[in-house]
Amino acid sequence: MDTLPRDHDMYEIRWHGRGGQGAVTSAKVLADAAFRSGFEGVTSQPSFGAERRGAPITASSRLAHEPIRILSQVTTPDIVVVLDDSLLAVANATAGMKPGGTIIVNTVKTPAELGLDGGLRIVTSDVTGAAEAAELIVGGQPMVSTAILGAFAAATGLITMESVEAAISHAFHGPAAKKNIDAARIAYDCTRA
């Protein structure tokens, strides 16, 4: 799969999830994995303020080779990650995307079936299926927040799977870490452009 150049000045990433789905965890683990992959400047932040379970939420990340000095929310992303394809209809996930940007969607559909605008690089991965296959289930729900990092690694090439696994092991311990890593590996393998 084509990936993105590492020497770009700064990658701006916006996450779309639902409250409780773990987009903030995704952003946090990405920041750690990106730092471990050699990006010296990384930030991740939730959308500021209050969240409600189930409501659409966003988070922002930035990756660069120098310390990040901009703290605003990302509004013109290079990369958008959608944790749940039902958000495409309600969250305006492509708003402000830079031309040629990459959108990564957790879905069982093909890129063409998503009905997104042309001009974007559309990458899909059945991350929910990956979480189920890894038995990464909490409260009856497959957890996609870390597994999606496998799709991010495959779709962008900006972070290595080794760094994703190290970041997951830093955030989770014992059997939980292993299941999260397994799910991320499966998601990596099922990512399609």
Partner 1 sequence: MSDDVSVMTGNEAAATAARLARVQVIAAYPITPQSPVVEQLAAWVESGELSAEFVAVESEHSAMTVCIGASTVGARTFTATSSNGLAYMTEQVWWAPGARLPIVMCVVNRAMAAPWNVLNDQQDSMSVRDAGWVQLFCRDNQEILDTTVQAYRIAERLHVPVMVCYDGFLLSHTMMPVAVPSPEQVDAFLPPFTQPFTVVDPADPRNVGPVVLADPRADETGAVRGGYMEIRALHHRALLDALTVIPETDAEYAAAVGRSWGGLLWEHLLDDAEVVLIAAGSLGTQLTLTVEALREQGVKAGVLGIRAYRPFPVEALREKLAGRRLALVFDKALSYGYEGPICSDLRGSMLGVEGAPAVFGAACGLGGRDVTPDDLAEAARRAIADLEAGARTRETDWINLHLEG
Stretch of 24-32, 86-94, 95-103, 180-188 lying at the interface with partner 1 (CB under 8 A): 24-32
SS3 state at 109: coil
Chain positions 28 to 57 lying near partner 1, rule: CB under 8 A, are 28, 31-32, 35, 40-46, 48-50
Identity of the residue, 161 or 193, whose beta carbon is nearer to partner 1 in the bound complex? 161
Residue with the two structure tokens 């870390």 = 146
User: Residue 73, interface with partner 1 (CB under 8 A)?
Assistant: yes
Of the candidate residues 70, 90, 108, 138, the single one contacting partner 1 (CB under 8 A): 70
Residue with the two structure tokens 């409250």 = 19
Partner residues linked to 79 by β-bridges: 13, 102
Phi-psi region of 75 (alpha: psi -120 to 50; beta: other; left: phi over 0): alpha
Token pair listed for 104 = 């990564």
Q: How far is the CB of 90 from partner 1 (least distance, A)?
A: 23
Find the DSSP H helices in the chain: 23-36, 127-133, 148-156, 161-171, 174-189
Chain positions 122 to 181 lying near partner 1, rule: CB under 8 A, are 170
Stretch of 26-34, 92-100, 110-118, 121-129 lying at the interface with partner 1 (CB under 8 A): 26-34
- Widest pairwise Cα distance in the chain: 43
Number of shown-chain residues binding partner 1 (CB under 8 A): 23
Stretch of 64-72, 99-107, 125-133, 173-181 lying at the interface with partner 1 (CB under 8 A): 64-72
Burial (0-12, 13-18, 19+ Cβ within 10 Å), 184: buried
φ and ψ of 167, to 5 deg: -70, -40
User: Residue 190, interface with partner 1 (CB under 8 A)?
Assistant: no
Give residues in contact with partner 1 (CB under 8 A): 27-28, 31-32, 35, 40-46, 48-50, 67-73, 170
